[in-house]
Amino acid sequence: MLKITVKVEKRIEGLRNEFDKFDNWILSGSLCGWGNPLIPCFDLVIFLKLPPEVRMKRLRNREKGRYGDEIKIGKSRYQKYVEFMDWASKYDEGDENIRSLVLHNKWLEEINCQMLRIEEDIDLDEKVKKINKTS
């Protein structure tokens, strides 16, 4: 447990050091739990969510792009691929014990800065327009 704590502390320290180098920055990804000390650094949080079928299709395409035929039945990455896709499929219905919508919504309640939720499959230009209207 101490090893994980030290690892997280180093990650937070490294991020803070990077933040100090820039007037503006964007941090992407899930920071649930481990990243809570960084919340006071945020001016705007943008929560992006896709419909499950779109998200899963993009993940399948991403994994195929990364690993090619190795994710096919009988190949070296097949079992890992199946396990990952099963885990990812639980996002919308899972509880707060896994990386899930419930967990992310709970974390978002702790945010005390401006927040924008984009929960639709729109192109990048439309997302940028929504973000520009917010800031």
pLDDT tens track for 92-104 = 999 999 999 999 9
Write the Ramachandran bin of 33: left for phi over 0, alpha for psi from -120 to 50, otherwise beta: left
Residue 78's domain comprises: 2-134
Q: How far apart (Å, rounded) are the C-alpha atoms in residues 52 and 34?
A: 25
- Predicted TM-score of the model (pTM): 0.84
57: number of Cβ within 10 Å:
12
Number of separate domains in the chain: 1
Residue 33 pLDDT: 83
31: number of Cβ within 10 Å:
19
Q: How far apart (Å, rounded) are the C-alpha atoms in residues 135 and 126?
A: 15
Q: What is the mean pLDDT of the chain?
A: 93
Q: How far apart (Å, rounded) are the C-alpha atoms in residues 99 and 92?
A: 9
